[in-house]
Amino acid sequence: MLISIRNETAADIPAINDVIRQAMRVLAQATGTEAAIVERLRAAGALSLSLVAEKKGEVVGHLAASPGLVGDQEGWGLIGPVGVVPPLHGQGIGSALMKEALSRLRETHRGAALVGDPGYYTRFGFRAFPGLHVTGCPPEVVLALPFDGSEPEGELIHHPAFGLDQQA
């Protein structure tokens, strides 16, 4: 199966929203607001990455990243949401999106961070850290991958587009 990973274009936006909605339907913790979060990040100029996975000219996966703070420390690429259309799960598309995102963030960021299932994200090198947290989230789902070997410590603060009650 030939999959290409590339930056979004304006023409992809409706398909991206559709992919996110389809993907999140199978995620129990999804809020249904994930496509709107990506729209708000885009409108705020805060999409550090918006990668699409394309198969036969169709957008079948998407990954967003935005600027995150750990405590008052800048330079963290906050990954998410990530989604692949359910019929194509398990074919390596999510991994291809993650690998491309990490390779790009590595050039310009001190590390990547996310809130997600450790069962999935540890395969990319993410792990929980004792001092890293997000208010209201179980600590085991707050994960980071420092590129410089440092220990992230503090609240992982999302962009306001996520609508979380966090203080930068």
Ligand X SMILES: CC(C)(COP(=O)(O)OP(=O)(O)OC[C@H]1O[C@@H](n2cnc3c(N)ncnc32)[C@H](O)[C@@H]1OP(=O)(O)O)[C@@H](O)C(=O)NCCC(=O)NCCS
Give residues in contact with ligand X (CB under 6 A).
Answer: 23-24, 26-27, 80-84, 89-95, 116-117, 119-120
Backbone angles phi, psi at 92, to 5 degrees: 90, 5
Record the tokens describing residue 132, joined without a space: 């890293």
Residue nearest to ligand X (CB): 94
Q: How far is the CB of 148 from ligand X (least distance, A)?
A: 25
Eight-class DSSP state of 106? H
Tell me whether residue 94 or residue 152 sits nearer to ligand X (CB atom): 94
Tell me whether residue 23 or residue 132 sits nearer to ligand X (CB atom): 23
Q: By C-alpha distance, which of 150, 153, 149 is closest to 139?
A: 153
Q: How far is the CB of 80 from ligand X (least distance, A)?
A: 5
Tell me whether residue 71 or residue 99 sits nearer to ligand X (CB atom): 99
131/8 Cα distance (integer angstroms): 34
